[in-house]
């Protein structure tokens, strides 16, 4: 009875009589005593649990960032990592439930909760330890093949005839090996690229379509590696070639494949590589492209000859590419025909020459063009080695020596290499081919203009969604011929070299050396090439570990040194004597821990230390007053030396991990103003007070480009791109990992274009960080914001009319996307309310398990520009409140069970939208954005 009385008194006076209870419970046994201890330490243990959860969720965020950085088209999260993330979310959910029970304040409930808290603390501790994964990703299962970018077929009759002939042999059962044969530049690769894509999208006969570009000279072990890589397999590097061939044969046996080998110069036996002989029984096919009929016959291929264009097709193609209308100047036809004839029906030459003469109607220009073509070559008829001479016409038409020099830089890269545009422009600027006296934006614009000129003249091709360019192998041959004529270039990239060329090859008058993407691990300790004129040395992409002290001693003219993606641990002191050096590029030298003093490199304009292990500011950097671009994305947060505020007025591009180790604000007003004057600014701010001070210093004038992260310290150097969504055409990003509290709130730049809030647990909606007007905001992402209740109020929505993409992901408390604030409730009518987002193109709602409504009440969302919708793991959402029709809709990604359970305002809505649906699996796991960022190693 006494116990009943004590429990009925509630919790207000319970501490006063807890001693009595303890005595009684001790008599009742140790089990009940432990429950009292749970209660007495309830608040203390709750604080411990919250601290443990904070650590766990920080670890979860780090793992998610690592996954985003490492997952790309060939990688997927490991199952154990996905499972760990799922369990982490379950732990968070259970901890939230416990906290809610504690807040109710009922005694018996809290006694039980006390025990649950102690158990949860131990569970969190153990789960945290299980999160120390050695690796996070695995290779994705092999895809059937890769859809390749291609250009339209040129020569409608000739090219299509060859393509249809190849397709007929592939679909039939009589011809197993096909050789697509023709002279360089005739269009073999374009034809076979179209066939590759057709096999993957229109034909269901083969398990795999494997495309391989064969490198020259022919390396059968390299070919083996390329084939197994396409199937996500591997072969030991140190095995004998014959043993590797046997293992490759085991991998390929039983698979019905089409193997396409592009640009084969030498015949070889399939069994030497481990390629099964194609037969009717195994259903495999082999397709090769080659310039030699001998190669086709030697390999037993049925020959499909790709011929040059007949006179009428050649003229039609030329006129089309040149954009000519002979009705305006009839006499021009007689002047154009001889120029076309000189191209001898070769599509590559026709397109290149025509592009140079686009919309040219001056007769004098055409007579002169014919004269220049005749100078470039005597005749191309039947002479394969003279083909580049026709292409040199396009090079000669560039006129400017500086622009021609820019073009020759492309020959420094390996064959078929995707050349980053930004890297090329950096090289051009460092060597003085582009004027860098204006802003960086102006310099880059000039560089992109030159690249566009090369593309328009068919000297380069666009690659990697416009971020890179490529050279056709014949165009590269032409460029190499030009460089070979003056012996000032040493060009040996991607040749699988294991040693540096001997000192006798390093001539005194050498100007440019490219040894990138080889297998060079070291340089002889005594080697000191006497290259007084050398201006550029490219060694990136080698497993280079050591550079001897004397190596740079006799290179006084060196302007560009690129050691990116090597394994060097330090640089020799002699680098300090390179007084003309303008670009020192050490990006992703992940073993590099120290540098010699840089104080003598007074000409240096570009210093890239991103993803090195340099522990802070390099010695002597305060003297480098000509720096234009500086990358200090290093493992430890840094602060620029005070002297740099006054001396580095030329700095236009900066990437930095900024702050102090103890997370206290360190940015001065003066330093913030310096940052605000940059053209390009990328910064990870440890402390959001520093970020606020920077934003407040902008005073309406922001950089041309910025990508800013606000958050806590990094445990490891995460790929910087991982902090931002992949968005085309946007250059002003902010990613928030905190928004502050109370009066201390983050201040956003008013011209931000893309905003992501990740793990901002302080917010219940976005009105607090978004206290101003953001007319340029187009992309809004919210991820893992645990206390988010709604996204936006109608009042704020009216200020976000330029939004194009909304994504809300993994925020378990959100119940509504658009919902009225408490002080606006009276405005909510019982009838339908119209909410308009006129420019919204994409809406993605994922893993929002409490989401009940997109619009409050019976609201309807009007989005006439909406093209893509994704709704997944939103089981409580019962209504699809989109105003119909959706005239721009292209795709709706949903779970089929959820789709079938929806309530519809319009009975015809479901039927009208169903054709656009793509049904996705009912699966709860980590969602990885595919990383399309450029890979250094091709």
Residue 37 pLDDT class (50, 70, 90 cuts)? low
At residue 441, the pLDDT reads 85
At residue 938, the pLDDT reads 41
> Which residues in 308-327 are b (16+ Cβ under 10 Å) and which e?
bbeeebbbbbbbebbebeee
Residue 924 pLDDT class (50, 70, 90 cuts)? very low
Q: What is the pLDDT of residues 614-673, one digit of tens each?
A: 988 899 999 999 999 999 999 888 888 877 877 888 899 999 999 888 888 888 888 888
Q: What is the pLDDT of residues 525-564, one digit of tens each?
A: 999 999 999 999 999 999 999 999 999 999 999 999 999 9
At residue 910, the pLDDT reads 86
Does the pLDDT at position 934 exceed 80? no
Does the pLDDT at position 679 exceed 80? yes
Stated as kind and residue range, the H or E segment containing 532 is none
Does the pLDDT at position 138 exceed 80? no
Quick one: 613 exposed, middle or buried, by C-beta within 10 A (0-12, 13-18, 19+)?
A: middle
Stated as kind and residue range, the H or E segment containing 871 is strand 868-872
**Average pLDDT of the segment spanning 687-702:** 86
- The answer to which of 8-17, 230-239, 862-871 has the lowest mean pLDDT is 8-17
Intra-chain end-to-end CA distance of the chain, in Å = 80
Residue 112 pLDDT class (50, 70, 90 cuts)? low
C-alpha 887/C-alpha 866 separation (Å) is 8
Q: Are the C-beta atoms of residues 509 and 534 closer than 8 Å to each other?
A: no
At residue 106, the pLDDT reads 62
**Average pLDDT of the segment spanning 926-936:** 35
Does the pLDDT at position 235 exceed 90? no
Determine how β-strand 419-420 pairs with β-strand 468-470: antiparallel
Among residues 190, 195, 172, 175, the alpha carbon closest in space to that of 301 is found at 175
At residue 361, the pLDDT reads 67
Q: Are the C-beta atoms of residues 662 and 639 closer than 8 Å to each other?
A: no
Q: What is the mean pLDDT of the chain?
A: 83
C-alpha 836/C-alpha 863 separation (Å) is 6
Of residues 327 and 471, more confidently modeled:
471
At residue 1, the pLDDT reads 37
At residue 932, the pLDDT reads 30
Q: What is the pLDDT of residues 751-762, one digit of tens each?
A: 999 999 988 888
C-alpha 725/C-alpha 706 separation (Å) is 14
- The answer to which of 251-255, 337-341, 887-891 has the lowest mean pLDDT is 337-341
C-alpha 372/C-alpha 914 separation (Å) is 61
Q: Are the C-beta atoms of residues 186 and 307 closer than 8 Å to each other?
A: yes
Ranges 372-381, 434-443, 558-567, most confident: 558-567
Strand partners, 104: none
- The answer to which of 285-294, 308-317, 542-551, 657-666 has the lowest mean pLDDT is 308-317
At residue 744, the pLDDT reads 80
For tokens 């905003």, name the residue.
755
C-alpha 608/C-alpha 631 separation (Å) is 5
- The answer to which of 102-106, 245-249, 307-311, 719-723 has the lowest mean pLDDT is 102-106
Phi first, then psi: what are they for 615, rounded to 5°?
-85, 65
Determine how β-strand 891-894 pairs with β-strand 868-872: parallel
Does the pLDDT at position 377 exceed 60? no
At residue 365, the pLDDT reads 73
Look at the chain and count its residues: 938
Q: What is the pLDDT of residues 321-330, one digit of tens each?
A: 777 776 666 6
For tokens 């007495």, name the residue.
40
Ranges 147-151, 521-525, 581-585, most confident: 581-585
């Amino acid at each position: 009875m006494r116990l009943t009385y004590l429990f009925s008194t509630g919790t207000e006076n319970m501490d006063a009589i807890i001693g009595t209870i303890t005595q009684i419970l001790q008599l009742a046994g140790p089990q009940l005593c432990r429950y009292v201890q749970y209660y007495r330490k309830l608040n203390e243990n709750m604080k411990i649990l919250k601290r443990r959860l904070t650590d766990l969720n920080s670890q979860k965020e780090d793992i998610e960032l690592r996954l985003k950085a490492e997952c790309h088209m060939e990688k997927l999260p490991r199952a154990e990592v996905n499972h760990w993330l799922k369990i982490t979310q379950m732990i968070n959910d259970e901890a939230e439930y416990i906290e809610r029970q504690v807040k109710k304040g009922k005694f018996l409930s809290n006694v039980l909760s006390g025990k649950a808290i102690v158990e949860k603390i131990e569970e969190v501790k153990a789960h945290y330890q299980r999160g120390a994964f050695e690796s996070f990703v695995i290779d994705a299962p092999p895809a059937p093949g890769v859809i390749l970018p291609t250009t339209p077929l040129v020569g409608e009759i000739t090219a299509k005839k060859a393509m249809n002939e190849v397709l007929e042999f592939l679909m039939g059962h009589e011809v197993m090996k096909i050789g697509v044969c023709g002279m360089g530049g005739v269009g073999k690769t374009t034809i076979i690229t179209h066939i590759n894509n057709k096999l993957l999208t229109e034909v269901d006969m083969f398990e795999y379509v494997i495309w391989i570009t064969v490198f020259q000279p022919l390396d059968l072990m390299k070919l083996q590696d390329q084939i197994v890589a396409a199937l996500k397999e591997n072969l030991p590097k140190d095995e004998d070639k014959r043993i590797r061939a046997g293992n490759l044969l085991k991998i390929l046996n039983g698979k019905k494949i089409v193997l396409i080998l592009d640009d084969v110069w030498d015949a070889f036996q399939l069994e030497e590589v481990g390629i099964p002989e194609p037969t009717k029984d195994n259903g495999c096919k082999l397709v090769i492209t080659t310039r030699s009929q001998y190669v086709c016959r030697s390999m037993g291929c049925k020959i499909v000859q790709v011929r040059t264009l007949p006179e009428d097709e050649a003229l039609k193609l030329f006129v089309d590419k040149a954009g000519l209308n002979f009705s305006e100047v009839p006499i021009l036809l007689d002047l154009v025909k001889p120029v076309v004839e000189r191209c001898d029906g070769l599509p590559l030459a026709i397109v290149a020459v025509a592009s140079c003469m686009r919309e040219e109607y001056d007769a004098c220009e055409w007579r002169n063009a014919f004269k220049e073509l005749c100078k470039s070559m005597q005749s191309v008829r039947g002479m394969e080695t003279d083909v580049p001479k026709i292409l040199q016409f396009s090079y000669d038409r560039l006129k400017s020596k500086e622009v021609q020099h820019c073009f020759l830089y492309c020959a420094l890269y390996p064959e078929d290499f995707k050349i980053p545009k930004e890297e090329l422009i950096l090289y051009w600027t460092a060597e003085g081919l582009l004027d860098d006296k204006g802003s960086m934006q102006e310099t880059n614009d000039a560089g992109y203009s030159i690249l566009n000129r090369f593309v328009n003249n068919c000297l380069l091709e666009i690659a990697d969604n416009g971020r890179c360019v490529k050279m056709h192998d014949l165009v590269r041959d032409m460029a190499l011929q030009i460089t070979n004529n003056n012996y000032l270039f040493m060009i040996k990239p991607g040749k699988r070299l294991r040693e540096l060329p001997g000192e006798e090859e390093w001539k005194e008058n050498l100007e440019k050396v490219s040894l990138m993407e080889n297998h060079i691990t070291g340089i002889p300790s005594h080697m000191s090439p006497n290259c007084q004129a050398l201006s550029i040395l490219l060694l990136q992409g080698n497993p280079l570990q050591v550079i001897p002290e004397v190596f740079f001693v006799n290179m006084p003219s060196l302007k560009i040194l690129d050691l990116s993606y090597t394994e060097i641990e330090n640089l020799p002191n002699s680098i300090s004597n390179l007084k003309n050096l303008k670009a020192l590029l050490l990006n992703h030298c992940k073993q590099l821990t120290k540098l010699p003093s840089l104080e003598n490199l007074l000409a240096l304009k570009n210093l890239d230390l991103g993803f090195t292990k340099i522990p802070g500011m390099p010695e002597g950097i305060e003297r480098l007053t000509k720096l234009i671009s500086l990358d200090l994305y290093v493992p430890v947060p840094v602060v620029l030396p005070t002297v740099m505020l006054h001396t580095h007025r030329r700095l236009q591009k900066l990437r930095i991990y900024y702050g102090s180790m103890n997370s206290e604000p360190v940015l001065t007003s003066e330093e913030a103003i310096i940052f605000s004057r940059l053209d390009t600014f990328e910064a990870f701010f440890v402390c959001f007070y520093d970020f606020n001070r920077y934003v407040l210093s902008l005073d309406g004038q922001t950089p041309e480009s910025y990508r800013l992260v606000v958050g806590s310290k990094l445990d490891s150097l995460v790929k910087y791109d991982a902090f931002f969504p992949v968005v085309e055409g946007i250059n002003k990003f902010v990613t928030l990992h905190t928004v502050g509290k109370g009066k201390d709130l983050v201040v956003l730049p008013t011209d931000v274009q893309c905003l992501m809030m990740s793990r901002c647990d302080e917010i219940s909606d976005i009105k607090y960080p978004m206290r101003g007007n953001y007319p340029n905001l187009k992309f809004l992402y919210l991820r893992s914001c645990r206390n988010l209740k709604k996204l936006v109020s109608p009042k704020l929505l009216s200020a976000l009319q330029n939004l194009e993409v909304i994504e809300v992901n993994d925020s378990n408390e959100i119940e509504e996307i658009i919902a009225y604030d408490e002080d606006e409730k009276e405005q909510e009518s019982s009838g339908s309310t119209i909410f308009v987002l006129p420019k919204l193109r994409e809406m993605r709602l994922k893993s929002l398990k409490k989401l009940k409504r997109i619009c409050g009440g019976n609201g309807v969302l009007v989005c006439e520009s909406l093209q893509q919708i994704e709704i997944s793991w939103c089981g409580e959402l019962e209504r699809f409140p989109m105003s119909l029709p959706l005239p721009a809709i292209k795709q709706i990604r949903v779970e089929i069970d959820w789709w079938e359970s929806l309530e519809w305002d319009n009975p015809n809505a479901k039927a009208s939208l169903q054709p656009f649906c793509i049904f996705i699996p009912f699966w709860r796991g980590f969602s990885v954005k595919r990383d399309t960022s450029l890979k250094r190693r091709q």
